Chains A and B, each alone.
Chain A
């Protein structure tokens, strides 16, 4: 074997694969979902912004899938992992299973996702697994722009009385049960913590996330996301909305087998 993760214990390597799949699928699904705004965003600036954000996320997903392919070494490349699974084989968080919704729905989800993803990336910034640490170092620089975008829009919608605020509240209520799903525990994540790959476990990451967004939600008088009812199902049992998205994003690959991105 010539793989880049051969010095890891098999159980650790498996847990790392699961983490990478979760991160890659998260970025892939939110990136593809947000790309649906291209051409129809509420204003031209946001058309450009959402398209650029989506391009960033799909780029992150591609890099993470490539890393995963090098670790798993089962003959699949990044494209095969990204496109050749049935819908139930995807491992993104339930938060990303929701349709993009209206503009308030997209902003609410982006804010919840970007802040949770940020906490996850921070916990990988000092990872003992160098290829992931290096990639995360680069991704974090880009994600700062995403967080700035989501934060400023969240504030705008929350502080504009009437329809904008009502739509935001409606979106947050809809997303609330799945709000914390990005940071739900992953199988065998303790082995990642013990190997120094991930700084700390999901419970602590969720605590950090809530501590970060809590003061913002309080200042804007918004309800915090609920606790996850079924943490073990936080990344399974995907929605009809996701199946429709899947049909879209696999259509080129199905029409032209072997197509690459």
Chain B
């Protein structure tokens, strides 16, 4: 039997790295920078998660998936979403950005958080398929709250991006 050697923060974080985002399952909630705090005490495991959008309908699914994944530790869980720290698209890790790109999603620009939104959207997003910057924003709103829709005039493919927010 492979016993769980230790219940500590790194062990919990690596377990969380296996919890997929329900809307874009190629990336985990760790890749997306949604895990803000992990606290392990003898009595409980506490996890503070940051919603990407306030009204994200996947939050309950994510919480349930986290609880299911951490159940193996056999300790009471306290998994909650908070706004103490705002989630921004800058929190997506470089590994997460690469995974997004290889699966056809343009990752959000870096350091875009404090720019006026019109400036961000006026900057062409590189096409995740062919790399061209000859792209146009078709719709700042997409199939989920965190996604926008673009079109690449070079390879003529539509693609989605993760919104800078």
B 66-122 contacts with A by CB, 8 A? 82-84, 86-88, 113, 116-118, 121
B54 touches A63 (CB 8 A): yes
Give the size range of A's interface with the partner.
Answer: 20 to 34
**A128 smallest CB distance to B (angstroms):** 15
A49 touches B121 (CB 8 A): no
Q: Does A203 contact B (CB under 8 A)?
A: no
Helix, strand, loop or mixed for chain A's interface?
Answer: helix
A145 touches B83 (CB 8 A): no
B117 touches A135 (CB 8 A): no
Taken together as a complex, chains A and B put the C-alpha atoms of A63 and B51 apart, in Å, by 11
Map CB proximity to A onto B123-165 as digits: 1 under 8 Å, 0 otherwise: 0000000000000001111111100010000000000000101
Q: Given A55, A130, A137, A148, which contacts B57 in the complex, CB threshold below 8 Å?
A: A55
Map CB proximity to A onto B39-55 as digits: 1 under 8 Å, 0 otherwise: 00000000000010111
Q: Given B57, B140, B144, which contacts A145 in the complex, CB threshold below 8 Å?
A: B140
B140 touches A149 (CB 8 A): yes
A49 nearest in chain B by CB position: B141
Q: Which residues of B contact A58 (CB under 8 A)?
A: 55
A141 touches B88 (CB 8 A): yes
Q: Which residues of B contact A57 (CB under 8 A)?
A: 55
B53 touches A148 (CB 8 A): no
A61 nearest in chain B by CB position: B55
Give the size range of B's interface with the partner.
Answer: 20 to 34
Q: Which residues of B contact A138 (CB under 8 A)?
A: 51, 54, 83, 86-87
B54 touches A60 (CB 8 A): yes
B139 touches A45 (CB 8 A): yes
B83 touches A55 (CB 8 A): no
**A25 smallest CB distance to B (angstroms):** 16
> Contacts A52-B141, A134-B83, A138-B87 hold; do A145 and B54 have CB atoms under 8 A apart?
no
Q: Does A62 contact B (CB under 8 A)?
A: yes
Q: Given B51, B55, B57, B140, which contacts A49 in the complex, CB threshold below 8 Å?
A: B140
A130 nearest in chain B by CB position: B84
Q: Given A59, A63, A139, A148, which contacts B117 in the complex, CB threshold below 8 Å?
A: A148
List A residues at the B interface (Cβ < 8 Å).
Answer: 45, 48-49, 51-53, 55-60, 62-63, 130-131, 134-135, 137-139, 141-142, 144-145, 148-149
Mind listing 5 A-B residue pairs with CB under 8 Å? Answer: A48-B141, A134-B84, A138-B86, A138-B87, A144-B117
